[in-house]
A and B are shown apart, each in its own frame.
Chain A
Amino acid sequence: MVNAYKLASVLYRELSYQGYTASRISGLRPMNVRRAIRAARYSKLVISVLMGFYIGLMGTVPYVLKKPSLSLIETLVVSFFMVFASSINTVFSLQNTEHIKGLLAMLPLEPRLVRRTLTLSLYMTMDLPIYVSITVSTVLSLAMGGLPYPLIGALEGIPLGIMASMGFVLIAERTLKNPVSGSVVRALALVPIVLASMAMGYVLEVNPSGLNPALSLAPVVSGLSITGLGTPLYVTVMYIALFSALAYVMLQRASGRLFESTVQVQVIRVKAPRVFRIRNPLMALIRVDLTQSFRSRMAGLWALPIGYWLITVLTAIISGTKLNPMLMLTYTMELSLLTAFIPYALYMSELRGAVVFRLLPISPIRNLISKLTVTLIAYYIAVAPMMIIALFYKLPLSLQVPILLAFGPPIAATAVMAILFEASISEGTVSSTLVMFIYALIIMLVEGLPIASLFATQVLIGGYVVPALVMFMVSMIEFAVALIILIRLSRH
């Protein structure tokens, strides 16, 4: 008798290999299959452990702030993030896997067993984050003296994460016929991740006791009203059961669809013939950078700085918050931090075609200049409305100096990103999911130092001009050091 679990374990190894190959920096097939599978597992383990630590941290903050029920939202958001982020990459890469269903079809297996095997193997791609999330939130609940909020948050966040990622798979399957809308759906998959990241910060502003009592029956929010055995608890348990059932159904449907749709439809869009346009090398590089990043999953990162002032500044104005210079300075620094994700998006979308770039006369410095140009343009497009708002609200004119100079940190981050990119394509063997995670942390550190120096100087001597100059100098030192390392690296 063939066991679905054993069969799924074998299939999972294949999925790990396919997922790893698809996410591989060089885009080339790994030489050592065992090592590739091990690397995929290791990558999943490291990310799960890091995220587990993050759940612990974010779940504890509301307790420390004496708003323990909010840890439900924090653990929900982080669990959602963990499950969604860990599964979406793998399942999208599997859309190009044509042979798995065919392989199973050749074996003498019951269709029901095949369906169960496929569902189980797809579940295995996200099992570890689920176990980590449940374990950490249970420990957190026990540590809080039996308060159920973190555990409930995880139990709701996990099925929601599965539903979201499987929903994207089902939509993406429909849009596969059109490569452009397919790319858009893939790019949109970044939105839940971005929204989840942003939500973590805003959750702490919520006052649970001030919520409308009618909301105690609403999904997710019902858990905040739990004080013991009673309606909110029963309603919450019902929602957990409902979400879990829906997640299972969607997982089953998505796995069937994912492995069934093996026929790639080739769409031909014939346009009127036109001549080839040859550009200046730098312009060509900038154009390809923009095209690739907009058509990749990284496209959503562009929305961060551009949409930031809409979310924060306009929200502040609408809600009647007085725009003081310090608040504006904080907004500017946050915008500067977000702009650093533009070169991150550019370099990351380039990793898949890294071999092509290696075969062209493009030096790392020229590549860097292209990214710097795009980053600078993006920064000033994003910051221009903030400058106008600052003038409109008659904030001190000296405040314009930090707004003008805060391009320094993203510039330094771009140069550091160039080093990381060069190192990665030389190595060519690291799973890109893990690399992306580590890079994001490094970029935040590089950005953080000049921004911290600005606030430190502001506290020590006040004003805006000198702190802005200090921040600019620190970021330029970072940039110069990174540039020297990059030049040395390119000589080798």
Chain B
Amino acid sequence: MGNTERLKNEEWQHGLMNDGYALKVERLTVRYGDKVAVKGLSFMVNNGEVYCLLGPNGAGKTSTIKAILGLVKYEGLIDILGLGQPSPSVMNNIGVVMETPAVLEALTPREFLEFLGSVRGIFNARRAEALIDAFELKEYLDTPIAALSAGNRQKVAIVAALLHEPKLLLLDEPFNFLDVKSVRVFKEIMQRHIESGGSILFSTHIMEVAERVCNRIGILNEGILITEGTPSEIKERAKAGTLEDAFLKAIHADEEIKAILEGL
């Protein structure tokens, strides 16, 4: 076991001892000028669970993920794996898939993955090849990422996020641009990640996906967490048959939709 790998495991053990959470967010506020995108948000992602941030467009899901990654200025507390706030040393323990694929477009997928492996000091060639095969990227390995389709760019971003076997995955609408087969493969990988003790913070606005893959859900609206619980708890609380109905009730959009439909 290399030094980097040993250090990584020790860091992870420290995170496990820390109340068993992978991510803790307290009183998070994100502002863009006068606009407050996230208002005093608090939630926790436990070890071995998929926590889903669910909300309409502009609810603050992406801003929350950007704050966790230190990509935007924020107020409040963020603790990642018990290692503290986002910093270069924490990054080796996180895998990220952004809404827009975060890749270096001038490079080829091969160059990009080699770069990530070199800088992180973690590279398992067998895993890299397995992921490349799983997402059918082999024939594009030496094509500049800029010339790839949106779907293939997203696949490169996903492989990049999974390559170093991170303990925590932050996924912001990760199924964007993916074909049905790749979505299924990715869902299976997520499941295995959880079974091996990893955690996932998952952001989406697709109810069906949230209900299927998430252990707990936090519903965000206008930057505020309005309800939180397992999918069945949320449905029960809202006295709704489906998560979609519960969600619409939670954000008070059910009556609005009725009125719209009557007007058509």
| A interface residues with partner B (beta carbon < 8 Å) | 26-29, 31-32, 35, 179-180, 183, 264, 266-271, 273, 275-281, 283-285, 287-288, 291-292, 295-296, 349, 352-353, 355-356, 358-363, 426, 428
Which chain A positions have C-beta within 8 A of B139?
268, 270
Task: Name B149's closest neighbour in chain A (CB-CB).
Answer: A266
Q: Known: A279-B114, A356-B102. Contact between A268 and B143, CB under 8 A?
A: yes
Which chain B positions have C-beta within 8 A of A426?
73
Docked Cα-Cα span, A291 to B138, in Å, equals 21
Q: Known: A179-B143, A361-B89, A361-B120. Contact between A353 and B73, CB under 8 A?
A: no
| B interface residues with partner A (beta carbon < 8 Å) | 32-33, 35, 37, 63, 69-73, 88-89, 91-92, 94, 96, 98, 100, 102-107, 110-111, 113-121, 123, 125, 128, 138-144, 146-149
B100 A276 Cβ-Cβ under 8 A: no
Task: Name A21's closest neighbour in chain B (CB-CB).
Answer: B100
Q: Tell me which of A31, A280, A283, A288 contacts B104 (CB under 8 A).
A: A288
Could you list 22 A-B pairs, sorted by A, with CB under 8 Å? A26-B71, A27-B100, A28-B98, A31-B35, A179-B143, A183-B144, A264-B149, A269-B142, A276-B117, A278-B117, A278-B118, A278-B123, A279-B114, A279-B118, A288-B107, A292-B107, A295-B144, A296-B106, A359-B96, A360-B88, A361-B120, A363-B88
Task: Name B161's closest neighbour in chain A (CB-CB).
Answer: A359
Docked Cα-Cα span, A360 to B121, in Å, equals 11
A280 B106 Cβ-Cβ under 8 A: no
* Beyond A31-B32, A352-B105, A359-B102, 19 additional pairs, beta carbon < 8 A: A28-B100, A179-B144, A180-B144, A183-B144, A183-B146, A268-B143, A269-B142, A269-B143, A270-B139, A270-B142, A276-B117, A279-B114, A280-B118, A291-B107, A292-B104, A292-B106, A292-B107, A295-B144, A361-B119
Docked Cα-Cα span, A180 to B146, in Å, equals 10
Interface SS of chain A? loop
Q: Tell me which of A27, A267, A291, A355 contacts B147 (CB under 8 A).
A: A267
A277 B114 Cβ-Cβ under 8 A: yes
Task: Name B150's closest neighbour in chain A (CB-CB).
Answer: A264
Docked Cα-Cα span, A446 to B128, in Å, equals 44
Docked Cα-Cα span, A183 to B107, in Å, equals 12
Which chain A positions have C-beta within 8 A of B37?
31
Task: Name A426's closest neighbour in chain B (CB-CB).
Answer: B73
Which chain A positions have C-beta within 8 A of B149?
264, 266
B35 A360 Cβ-Cβ under 8 A: no
A281 B119 Cβ-Cβ under 8 A: yes
A276 B146 Cβ-Cβ under 8 A: no
Q: Known: A32-B35, A276-B128, A295-B144. Contact between A361 and B100, CB under 8 A?
A: no
Q: Known: A266-B147, A276-B123. Contact between A358 and B114, CB under 8 A?
A: no
State how many angstroms separate the Cβ of A21 from the closest Cβ of chain B. 10
Which chain B positions have C-beta within 8 A of A275?
125
Docked Cα-Cα span, A285 to B128, in Å, equals 20
Docked Cα-Cα span, A29 to B116, in Å, equals 24
Which chain B positions have C-beta within 8 A of A31?
32, 35, 37, 63
Docked Cα-Cα span, A26 to B70, in Å, equals 13
Docked Cα-Cα span, A280 to B123, in Å, equals 12
- Kindly name the residue among B33, B111, B125, B147 whose own CB sees the greatest number of chain A CB atoms within 10 A: B147
Docked Cα-Cα span, A292 to B111, in Å, equals 11
